[in-house]
Amino acid sequence: MRVTAEAERALMRDVLAALGASVEEQRCVADALTEGDLRGYASHGLLRFPLIVRRVQAGTARVGAVPRVVSRRPAAVLLDGDLGLGPFVATRAVDLAAALAREQGLGAVGVYNNNHISLVGYYVERAARQGLVAIATTTGDAGVHPYGGIDRLYGTNPLAIAIPTADEPFLLDMATSEGTFGRIFGARQRGEPIPPTWAVDAAGEPTTDAEQALAGSLRPFGGAKGYGLGLCLAILAGALVRAASGPDVIGTISPTDPTTKGDLFVVLDPAALGDAAAIREQTSAYLARVRASRRAPSGEAIRVPGERALRLRAERLASGIPMDETTWESVLALAREVRAR
């Protein structure tokens, strides 16, 4: 089935309103998750919404949360998310980092006591559309083994970077694992094998069996280099922001686990370093040169990060979002349940 982006947003806003969420909270959550589905990341779209609702019902997430500043310097703030809805707190955080960047040239906001924020790239792109450069990361329940190891010791810890151009922002949004549990769950549902590079089984052997992968751990992308990057991000969105690190991070999978994850947003105003308009033009010209460069013998078009997702977004805004009927019906049932309480 296909649904419009507005229908998806309206359904989530309706449920959140019944739970007592403010208009701002409704908008932040609905917009962030709908963007996940528009860009082809279903694991971060409506599919995740029931977990948000169950966490509110369990008291591990809070509507009406009031994020508060715990410590502050001219260009850096630490924020207590007050167990708020993840996209609501994250939107507040990146907007605060953007305001600091406009005042100081650079703004950094660390967040703890917050819930899952969905696509990290959504927030850095929000800053880039204001003409700012942004970098962000977040942590989640541990699922990735260290290079040379077997045990789950850190999350998929994404890195997102957005840079304004003369056209659409440049956006890199990537996990630091080779595969993701969301994609493995999907393969299991379809009865399909997974690539042998995605995960290892409980004994540490590469596997193409989704069930065995879920009992094992994800592989870091790029071997030792990806492992090193994932570990760095575990610290930057862990100890640095008063959140837990590695296997002590919980609260992004189970509805009843308290949240111990962290987020970090760093925003830079290009005008602090030079002519912002000239920087945008040079960036656009460079990316155009990359796209026009010689292709490999495979003949595939050369794209830059974020391009495929933006193209998919435009298509789905025009023709609707492909939606699994089970997911849609489950949220409709959830809406009826919440309204009846």
Domain ranges of the chain: 2-61+310-340, 69-272
Backbone dihedral angles phi then psi of residue 152, each to the nearest 5 degrees: -75, 110
Q: What is the pLDDT of residue 341?
A: 81
Q: What is the pLDDT of residue 328?
A: 96
Task: Band the pLDDT of 186: cuts 50, 70, 90.
Answer: confident
Tokens of 234: 């575990």
Nearest to 35 by CA among 319, 328, 312: 312
Position 41, amino acid: Y
Q: What is the pLDDT of residue 299?
A: 76
- Calculate mean pLDDT across residues 98-115: 98
Q: What is the pLDDT of residue 266?
A: 98
| 213: region left, alpha or beta (phi > 0 left; psi from -120 to 50 alpha) | alpha
Q: Tell me how far apart the alpha carbons of residues 180 and 295 are, in angstroms, rounded to a whole number.
A: 29
pLDDT digits (tens, 9 = 90+) for 123-161: 999 999 999 999 999 999 999 999 999 999 999 999 999
- Calculate mean pLDDT across residues 22-46: 96
pLDDT digits (tens, 9 = 90+) for 308-339: 999 999 999 999 999 989 999 999 999 999 99
Q: What is the pLDDT of residue 300?
A: 84
Tokens of 205: 């052997």
Residue 333: strand pairing partners? none
Position 219, amino acid: R
Q: Which of these CATH numbers, 1.10.287.130, 3.40.50.150, 3.40.50.11540, 1.10.1530.10, describes 2-61+310-340? A: 1.10.1530.10
Percentage of the residues of the chain whose pLDDT score is greater than 70: 100
In this predicted model, which residue has the larger pLDDT, 188 or 51? 51
Q: What is the pLDDT of residue 183?
A: 83
Q: What is the pLDDT of residue 284?
A: 98
What mean pLDDT, rounded, does the chain reach? Answer: 96
Residue 340 has pLDDT above 80, yes or no: yes
Q: Tell me how far apart the alpha carbons of residues 9 and 31 are, in angstroms, rounded to a whole number.
A: 7
Nearest to 135 by CA among 103, 170, 165, 88: 170
Q: What is the pLDDT of residue 203?
A: 96
Q: What is the pLDDT of residue 181?
A: 85
Residue 235 has pLDDT above 90, yes or no: yes
Residue 234 has a CB neighbour count (10 Å cut-off) of: 26
Q: Which of these CATH numbers, 3.30.1370.60, 3.20.20.140, 3.90.1150.10, 3.40.640.10, describes 69-272? A: 3.30.1370.60
Q: What is the pLDDT of residue 187?
A: 86
Q: Kindly report the pTM of this predicted structure.
A: 0.96
Q: What is the pLDDT of residue 188?
A: 87
Q: What is the pLDDT of residue 122?
A: 98
Position 308, amino acid: R
- Calculate mean pLDDT across residues 47-55: 96
Q: What is the 3-state secondary structure (H, E, C) of the chain?
A: CEECHHHHHHHHHHHHHHCCCCHHHHHHHHHHHHHHHHCCCHHHCHHHHHHHHHHHHHCCCECCCCCEEEEEECCEEEEEEEEECHHHHHHHHHHHHHHHHHHHCEEEEEEEEECCCCCHHHHHHHHHCCCCEEEEEECCCCCECCCCCCCCCECCCCEEEEECCCCCCEEEEECCECCCHHHHHHHHHHCCCCCCCCEECCCCCECCCHHHHHHCEECECCCHHHHHHHHHHHHHCCHHHCCCCHHHCCCCCCCCCCCCCEEEEEEECHHHCCCHHHHHHHHHHHHHHHHCCCCCCCCCCCCCCCHHHHHHHHHHHHHCEECCHHHHHHHHHHHHHHHHC
Q: What is the pLDDT of residue 190?
A: 82
Residues recorded for the chain: 341
pLDDT digits (tens, 9 = 90+) for 280-295: 999 999 999 999 999 9
